[in-house]
Structure 1
Amino acid sequence: MAATLLKKVLNTAALLTLMAGASAAFAHAHLEQSTPAADSTVNTADQLRLVFTEGVEQAFTKVVVTHDQAPVALSSIKTEPANKKVLIVTPAKPLPVGTYHVKWNAVSVDTHKSAGDYSFTVSN
C-alpha cells in the first residue's frame, strides 16, 4: 500500500517537473513592469520603460500610445543596449495632462509573439 502511494507521488512529481520545463521552453515575453506603472498617476512622462520577462526584438515589437483615442507621436522605440528585456519608448514631445493608453505587441528573441495594454495618467 505504501509502495503504491509512493509510486503515485513520484509519478506526479515527475509529471509536474516535465510540465514546468515545457512551459519554460514555450515562454513568451510578458510585460513584467512599466514606468509609468499601469494605473498610476505621474507628474511627467518624458519616456516610457517597458520591462519584459525575456528579451524582445526591437524591429518587430510595436508600441502605440494614445490620448483621447488619438495616437501620440513617438520619436523612438528602442531596446536598452545592455538589456534587450527593456524597451524605451520616447514621445516626440512632452505629454500633456490626461490619461494615456499603451498598447504593445512584442516579439521575443525566440520569435514568440505576445501583446497587452495598460493605462496611466499625467497630472499636475
Structure 2
Amino acid sequence: MQKTLMPLILAALAMVAAPGAALAHAKLLSSTPAANATVSKDKAKSITLMFNEKLMAATVKAELVMTGMPGMKDHPPMKIAFTSMMGKDGKSMMLMPKKALVPGTYKVSWSAAGADTHRMGSEFSFTVK
C-alpha cells in the first residue's frame, strides 16, 4: 500500500512546490516618485509605475488625487486630470498630469490584471514641495 501511494504523494508535492505563472499576480515593484518620497515641483512632471509582469492593457485603471495642500487644514481630496500611456514592454505605465503639480500631498491608486486575469491594485503617496 505504501509503495503505491508514494508516487501520488511525490506528484502532489511537485505540483505545489513548482513555481507557476498562474499563481503570480500583478504587483507594483517601484514608482517615480517613490512611495512616501518628497520631490520638487520640477521633478513631478510625470509619475511612472513599474510592475513585475506585463499587464493586460484593457484592465489598467489609475487615479491621481491631491490629498493635502500646505496651509489648508482640511483640504478635500481633489482628482487630478492626467493622460497615460503603457510602456512598450507592457510592464510600465506613465501618468502625465495635464497641469503642473503644485506643492502638496498626492495619492496614486492603480488596479490591473496580469496574465492570470486576477485584478490587483494598491496605492501610494508622495509629496511635492
1:30 is aligned to 2:27 = yes
* Alpha-carbon distance between aligned partners in 2 of 1:101 and 1:78, rounded to the nearest angstrom: 19
Matched pairs, number: 110
Partner AA of 1:113 in structure 2? R
* Alpha-carbon distance between aligned partners in 2 of 1:66 and 1:26, rounded to the nearest angstrom: 31
Match for residue 105 of structure 2 among 69, 94, 99:
99
Normalising to structure 2: TM-score of the pair? Answer: 0.75
User: Please, which runs of 5 or more residues in structure 2 have no aligned partner?
Assistant: 1-5, 68-76
Q: Secondary structure at the match of 2:35?
A: coil
User: Please, which runs of 5 or more residues in structure 1 have no aligned partner?
Assistant: 1-6
Normalising to structure 1: TM-score of the pair? Answer: 0.78
1:80 is aligned to 2:87 = yes
* Alpha-carbon distance between aligned partners in 2 of 1:20 and 1:119, rounded to the nearest angstrom: 36
The residue number in structure 2 matching 1:62 is 61
Q: CA RMSD in A?
A: 2.1
Give runs of ≥4 in structure 1 deviating > 4 Å: none
Preserved contact between residue 58 and residue 77 of structure 1 (Cα < 8 Å): no
Identity %: 36
Instruction: Indicate how the Cα distance of structure 1 residues 25 and 37 shifts in structure 2: closer, same or farther if over 3 A, else same.
Output: same
Partner AA of 2:81 in structure 1? A
